[in-house]
Amino acid sequence: MKLDERHSFVSTDAVADWVDTNSHLPDNSVFLTFDDGYRDFVETVLPILERYEVPATVYVSTKLIKQQRPPFDYLLQEAISATDWVSLDTSDFSLEMETKQTSAKRAAYNQIRSRFKYATAEERRSVLDQVKEPDMSAVEMLTQDQIKMLSDHPLVTVGSHGHEHVPLDGISKTAIKHDVSQSKSYLENLTGGRVHHFSFPYGGWDYTSRRCVADIGFTTAVTTTPRTVSRHDSPLGIPRFDGFERGSKLKSGTTNVG
Ligand SMILES: [Zn+2]
């Protein structure tokens, strides 16, 4: 599908082949990915993809699906946006801040998110309780039936975004293997097919986590390093722009793509 005169939409598989085997891709190709597994992918995004015949990959965090609970950073953002005052006091971090203005809300979110990115589930729950218990009624995760339907859809690829949605560069090798393999087998049992695409939660990856993801059987992995893809990239470290920046972009060429 042509986005405009200069860009084309391609699949994650086509991008991985391009960096791995030097296969052909149109100049200025774009690939679309969606992390976490929100239900609005089916309700809002899929009809648009179908209308324009655009491929996309959905990376699902399997525990969030099982519990039908959005990830911590999403809940934190919701909680802060619903309160004019953030009061947080834990054993080694405290924050008292008026959050009427959007800029203050963003500042509070960034501070708390970066401090508790590697925290345990219990610590995160305590943070959310103290800030303001978020209203979860508006947020819905994909159901198992929807994931199965997406895996059979010709335009959609289902990948893993880990099980617990924790950054893999902050946990032990054993914990990485447990989390990633749990997610892979859950999705493969659900869809009846092989799942070989991975997205690092929070973009958190390092040599060990990349090695583990490969050992468990994933052939591609995307990060949140915000730049265009180069032929020199590994299929297990494909960079992406997030939706607030600009589309992850590719260009067939000889060296780094700028
Ligand atoms: Zn995520």
More reliable by pLDDT, 136 or 167: 167
What's the whole-number mean pLDDT along residues 37-62? 95
Query: Cα of 239 to ligand 1 centre, how many Å?
Result: 15
Pairwise CA distance, residues 36 & 199, whole Å: 9
Pairwise CA distance, residues 193 & 149, whole Å: 12
Query: Cα of 60 to ligand 1 centre, how many Å?
Result: 8
Query: Cα of 165 to ligand 1 centre, how many Å?
Result: 6
Query: Cα of 118 to ligand 1 centre, how many Å?
Result: 13
What's domain 33-68+140-219's superfamily in CATH? Answer: Glycoside hydrolase/deacetylase (3.20.20.370)
**Segments making up each domain of the chain, as ranges:** 33-68+140-219, 72-131
Q: Give the number of other Cβ atoms within 10 Å of residue 191's Cβ.
A: 17
pLDDT value at residue 119: 85
Query: Cα of 218 to ligand 1 centre, how many Å?
Result: 18
Each residue's pLDDT tens digit, 187-245: 999 999 999 999 999 888 999 999 999 999 999 999 999 999 998 899 999 999 876 55
CB of 75 within 8 A of CB of 131? Answer: no
Query: Cα of 199 to ligand 1 centre, how many Å?
Result: 8
Query: Cα of 144 to ligand 1 centre, how many Å?
Result: 18
Q: Which residues, at least 6 apart from 156, have a Cβ–Cβ distance to it below 8 Å?
A: 46, 49, 55, 56, 57, 58, 150
